[in-house]
Structure 1
């Protein structure tokens, strides 16, 4: 897990490259490397996870010196791929395997990779840059093109450090305020800064930039469309799940995992302990809490942990920490994030780093592949749960901003509406949003987060199963619950879904009232005040404090905006 940065073109310079690398050094504190030739400057921030030797530092070149690679992520099946490659390896790193795979198979190597990745390869002979991002976009890739020069990096702040202006993308911000959208796969909240969508690659040659899709999810689903007996599906999925978690134990540093009180964490807990290849090593679990029994999941977490005896690190977040921590998280996020739960989650990675647990596994991705949300089977397209009225306050927006807002429309490639909702959440809403938040809070503490449930084989296979395997007799994620019940008690396996929450709604209107007041005042005095009807905004804030607080999302939107744009 690392950070990459590069400048290719007439405006490139070593000074700018090192400014970019310095801005994202938290992503890789173990080594900072660079390679420069003519108008090509490549840089790397390394967090050492596999092959800790200096020989595996990046930028990394092949034996012929033709190719230079910078790589962020992990190729989990690198050992298997290595056996297929006729190449004289000089390291035990997955970086060298990735480069050798590209040399042998070209762009087709992407289809063979099981991992999370964002990488760039410069071909010194053909003067061509090739860059790619993993199927679901776990690892980031941001870029800016101007005057025949391509700038790219793992974080937006690195592009700002290179001199790209920090100008808001008004359309994306407007849609965020009006509809809760975090942008489409190629967009960011900043003007002229784009991201390479997950499952895509780019090629740059002689200033000509081309972006192409390489992962065709819809086509892969067709390969699994033959309906198999429930017992066969259960057996196959269990085997895939076991293999996915085993692959993600490959590490030359310590591994732990995050746990909440839900089914997904239960599955992770059960399989982590069953499959731990280093039996003598005790796998540590991490969970956050706020000392508010209405929201904390500690009772369920402790019940689960009591069965497996994993050491549990309980990380407490108090309201008095939120003001300063929200500013810190905003700095590392660069864009709006999910609120106080994200702040609490960030504190877990801080603790893990202190404990020298540099890799954490997480349970993200099960709801989307097994139709775990209530709205999948309801006539409801909202992705914000537990709120009966709109969480958006469009009445506080100026006409200019409101006119720019566009309600997002997502592709519907399947005949079945439930599948289309799952597809939307996988590629446009829930998963991209969660992966973005999680990558940035983990890397802020120089730790690596791995998502075993987002192994593409698992996602494709589960997604393609008939609805009755996903939801039966009103029980969601039915097959998964069946699997987990073989390892943990029914009270855990068949517990109802509990959204991961904090007392955000209560804290914002009480303990954090002064903090919110200050940030709203900053908006009123800022160059962005014209985006809002500030009198209406202040009245909505007063209404919230006075008790109209069923949803806190609009308050957090304003805080997000102020912390990001007025810093």
Structure 2
């Protein structure tokens, strides 16, 4: 795992100094090695975290044997050993990076369709004077880019782009609204006006002669096919085969590795499969809290004992977390409402001597682990409600809010006031943090921009993806998962030079599960298809436990030990030009008083946003 940088410009003369500065800004991503390559209009930089072939032969930027291509690569290609035999190439290392370069030398960018893995690839073609960027199918590894009058540049992180002094670093106000709605900014936008995030499964090509960019899609979950298996038994066998294959592929490493273990279904399945296919004892890591309501320790201990892992419990007190918060926020390359959770577990895992860890991220999205799956099925079955008069629906919504005030009732009210039922809008409402009336009360703007998830899902015709459960999976994967969970996983784990691998996002497993009819996937019990496929790994004690998710006791902490920290930042944000101060402070005070419609996830993003603005020097 690494960090990559690049600048293409025919006018900038100090590209070498700039690329070195960008590399230095990414030192946390790659402490093992660094390299620069500068020739004519192009400059490429690389920071290396050595995982496969730890020798100097893996140094990047890497130049092809023919001398035409120069590459920087971030990620892992899990099937590289098989691909290595396919290409007649004078290899000088045992790295997966050189296999990428060998494949590119023979096939050009079409080779990416052969790769199973997570990757961000940049290749400069010295002959054609073109730069090609590739992002992996599910968006596990990021590539940020900007195109200014002076240059085209890219990086693994936004902060390296700002270090280049080639971008303005100005906030995009529409993206600020997107962040407050959804605790992130949806790709291809970012919090900055002139910086973009490559969409997963795409290839971007920049041509120097025309100074133009073009983007093509090589893979998309929106294009999932449809299968009609013969039986449920056949489906279970195939899910099990693909899952074990995905885990086994991700155990290839020349460094110590382990797994995050919450004791939930997803992480327990990962650890169980690791224990079966690995030839060494598995290291597992679990965070415990003083607040018993948030501690998953007993479940994690059960799984660890079951599979005889070398289990590590990390006990976290509020005071400990408060001390870590400034560093966690400083490590946040792009604002997120959920990042510190991953920062803490990554820090503790790395300090235990682990360089690579497997995570259960993606299991909920693929196998229907969130309540929204059944909720969306119910809404689809009750579309007739939107044929009732709007006045009647409003009255019903208001009655529910009066009877049971809170976030859920607020969202039902918003659903009831839609003119017509639309899958995209209903899904977006379920994922929204601050609702539009709340935003109108804290922003000075008289109008709010379009909802990006709604636009994105309509643009990609999510309604043509398949049956309801597959549509929800695709919507979750391409919004919340990619733009919150995976972004957090990358930036917060790499802050500690820890590589995180996600077997549930093996594209072969994803394609198969998305192709299945709803009849095989309906989560009548928690993640039924996954559990039925792995009965030996998932005992009833784990399957039927209360679902908690990996969350910290934010509500208690923000009202207690973290109150002053949050209060100071929220008050500063409230005074900024974009915000209406009384409205912001009202949201904060209502949270502190226990208003059920203002949960911690509505106020914590305000703290994060202020930290982001400060980090930009604004």
TM range, smaller chain: over 0.9
Partner of 2:319: 320
CA gap of 1:241–1:418, structure 2 versus 1, over 3 A, is closer
Specify which of 532, 535, 547 is matched with residue 482 of structure 1.
532
Partner of 2:610: 562
Specify which of 439, 461, 476 is matched with residue 425 of structure 1.
476
* Runs (5+) with no aligned partner, structure 1: none
Q: How many residues are aligned here?
A: 552
Partner of 1:94: 96
Specify which of 346, 355, 372 is matched with residue 352 of structure 2.
355
TM-score by length of 1: 0.93
In 2: Cα distance, 1:259 partner to 1:401 partner: 46
CA shift at 1:323, angstroms?
A: 3.9
Contact preservation (8 Å) 2:288, 2:316: yes
Contact preservation (8 Å) 2:3, 2:46: yes
Contact preservation (8 Å) 1:118, 1:140: yes
Contact preservation (8 Å) 1:142, 1:196: yes
CA gap of 1:181–1:537, structure 2 versus 1, over 3 A, is closer
In 1: Cα distance, 2:407 partner to 2:348 partner: 31
Q: Is residue 499 of structure 2 the alignment partner of residue 454 of structure 1? A: no
Moved more, 117-126 or 402-411: 402-411
Alignment of 1:17-166 (within 5 A): 17-147=19-149, 149-163=151-165, 164-166=167-169
CA gap of 1:123–1:65, structure 2 versus 1, over 3 A, is same
In 2: Cα distance, 1:350 partner to 1:513 partner: 24
In 1: Cα distance, 2:552 partner to 2:360 partner: 18
CA shift at 1:181, angstroms?
A: 5.7
CA shift at 1:388, angstroms?
A: 4.5
Partner of 1:4: 4
CA shift at 1:11, angstroms?
A: 4.2
Partner of 1:330: 329
CA gap of 1:294–1:11, structure 2 versus 1, over 3 A, is farther
In 2: Cα distance, 1:144 partner to 1:23 partner: 17
CA shift at 1:254, angstroms?
A: 0.9
In 2: Cα distance, 1:519 partner to 1:82 partner: 52
Partner of 2:599: 551
Partner of 1:308: 307
Contact preservation (8 Å) 2:135, 2:203: yes
Q: Is residue 261 of structure 2 the alignment partner of residue 214 of structure 1? A: no
In 1: Cα distance, 2:556 partner to 2:230 partner: 48
Partner of 1:541: 588
Specify which of 531, 549, 555 is matched with residue 578 of structure 2.
531
Q: Secondary structure at the match of 2:465?
A: coil
Partner of 2:284: 285
Partner of 1:441: 492
Q: Secondary structure at the match of 1:432?
A: helix
Alignment of 1:362-377 (within 5 A): 362-377=359-374
In 1: Cα distance, 2:128 partner to 2:61 partner: 18
CA shift at 1:405, angstroms?
A: 5.7
Q: Secondary structure at the match of 2:566?
A: helix
Specify which of 270, 273, 295 is matched with residue 271 of structure 1.
273
Partner of 2:402: none
Contact preservation (8 Å) 2:52, 2:95: yes
CA shift at 1:198, angstroms?
A: 0.5
In 2: Cα distance, 1:309 partner to 1:417 partner: 39
CA shift at 1:530, angstroms?
A: 2.1
Partner of 2:296: 297
In 1: Cα distance, 2:362 partner to 2:187 partner: 18
Moved more, 152-161 or 354-363: 354-363
CA deviation map 1:415-459 (0-9, x unaligned): 533322211111122343200000011100011010011000011
CA RMSD in angstroms comes to: 2.0
CA gap of 1:401–1:265, structure 2 versus 1, over 3 A, is farther
Specify which of 387, 397, 409 is matched with residue 442 of structure 2.
397
CA shift at 1:47, angstroms?
A: 0.4
In 2: Cα distance, 1:88 partner to 1:462 partner: 39
* Runs (5+) with no aligned partner, structure 2: 380-405, 412-432
CA shift at 1:487, angstroms?
A: 3.0
Partner of 2:519: 468
Partner of 2:195: 193
Partner of 1:509: 559
Moved more, 158-167 or 366-375: 366-375
Contact preservation (8 Å) 1:257, 1:286: yes
In 2: Cα distance, 1:90 partner to 1:407 partner: 46
Partner of 2:425: none
Alignment of 1:409-424 (within 5 A): 409=454, 410-411=457-458, 412=462, 413-424=464-475
CA shift at 1:172, angstroms?
A: 1.1
In 1: Cα distance, 2:336 partner to 2:585 partner: 22
TM-score by length of 2: 0.86
Contact preservation (8 Å) 1:52, 1:252: yes
In 2: Cα distance, 1:348 partner to 1:500 partner: 10
Contact preservation (8 Å) 2:25, 2:163: yes
